[in-house]
Amino acid sequence: MTEAVFQETTAERRTQSVPLAHLSLELGHLYMEDFEAGPKRLAEHFAEVRIWVDAVRASAARRSKRPRISTCFLIDDYFTRFSTPAELIPMVLKEAEKAGLVIDYLARESACAVAERIELAESVMHRLVESPPPGSYGSRPSVSHSGWLANGQRTPSTSRSALGAVKGWAAPQETAARNHSIFMDVELWSEKDGKRLWSCPFLAAVWQLARLGLLRHLGEPVLLPAQWEGADFPQDWDRLPPLIRLTDTKAAFSAYRTCTLMPNRFLAVEDAVRLILDQIDVDAGALQQVAERSAGEGMPVPAAVAQRATYVFYEEPGDSSEAEGT
């Protein structure tokens, strides 16, 4: 006799796959003050980016004779909204074209927080798994309560003696330090008027997961590109889809690897992005799909998700300002 086994159909949730290019090449991730500076600032940006695009494509060609490369551009409409899509997007596309560049996909940064009524940032936050430092005993609040994520042991709180001397001080320690520590502590969100405001590094980490084809909600892919057919862009940012395809490219939006070309003032932000990526419990089904398909093409990806993201940081002439969320 055979024994029948009954189980809920929801227990067999399948992780849906997504099309994958070899490389997702980001041609820009600027703040609203960059757009406010006008076409000249955009022209300078794309002129610098153009210098590196050929080198990135040549590097990809070392792994595949015919690399599938898609380009993308991210517009910050989350921290500050400047102008309208109808005015801003044509200016971006025009200056990119002048530099000999084509933008295949364009995304709104606000979509990394919420897209199609799905709280993407909140969903990714719940997948964070902190790496407990050696010797820790859970005295500090979890990231879900504090909103801060570190790569090691923070400096413990100190007290002072009657003479004012600090007692019990200890240096912070990186969990995976080599000889010496490089300790980082990243703020993932803040509270403003009772509403959570996600930080730039955290939204950028969500953006990287989407570009790497690893972002899922209940097994379903999110931030899928919509083909833009209209001649004119809308006047309201909320009427623009979260992610649009602007060309007839055959290369998918998501890819085995990403490369981002940006000003060097974003270096600290992207260091924080990599710290976050290292502590996200990525959907296992999505990880397996990417691993199997990349290996099948003779281009296996690194096991660590953060190692799949590369960058080129260029120096901005006459600008020493630091990047901060706008």
Q: What is the pLDDT of residue 323?
A: 44
Sign of the alpha-carbon dihedral angle for 251, 252, 258, 264: positive
Q: Which residue has the higher pLDDT, 325 or 32?
A: 32
CB 171 within 8 A of CB 153: no
More confident residue, 97 or 163: 97
Which is more confidently placed, 81 or 111?
111
pLDDT in tens, 54-108: 999 999 998 888 999 999 999 999 988 888 999 999 999 999 999 999 999 999 9
Beta strands in the chain (DSSP E): 21-30, 69-75, 105-108, 148-150, 152-153, 159-160, 166-167, 173-174, 185-187, 189-192, 195-198, 216-217, 220-221, 226-227, 243-245, 255-263, 309-314
Q: Is the pLDDT of residue 8 over 70?
A: no
- Residue 44 has a pLDDT of 94
The H or E element containing residue 117 is: none
Q: Which of 1-5, 12-16, 31-35 has the lowest mean pLDDT?
A: 1-5
Q: How large a percentage of the chain has pLDDT more than 90?
A: 65
pTM for the structure as a whole:
0.87
pLDDT at 135: 56
170-189 residue pLDDT tens:
778 777 778 887 888 999 99
CB within 8 A of 191, min separation 6: which ones? 197
What average pLDDT score do residues 114-122 get? 92
Nearest by Cα to 26 from 103, 99, 97, 78: 103
> Residue 6's pLDDT band (boundaries 50, 70, 90)?
very low
pLDDT tier for residue 320 given thresholds of 50, 70 and 90: very low
> What average pLDDT does the chain have?
87
The reported pLDDT for the residue numbered 81 is 83
Mean local confidence (pLDDT), 24-49: 91
- Across 19-43, average pLDDT: 91
**pLDDT digit string, tens, across residues 181-236:** 788 899 999 987 888 999 999 999 999 999 999 999 989 999 999 999 877 999 99
**Direct distance between the N- and C-terminal alpha carbons of the chain, in angstroms, rounded to an integer:** 68
What percent of the chain clears pLDDT 70, i.e. is strictly above it?
Answer: 86
How far is it, in rounded angstroms, from Cα 80 to Cα 174? 34
- Beta bridge pairs of residue 24: 70, 258
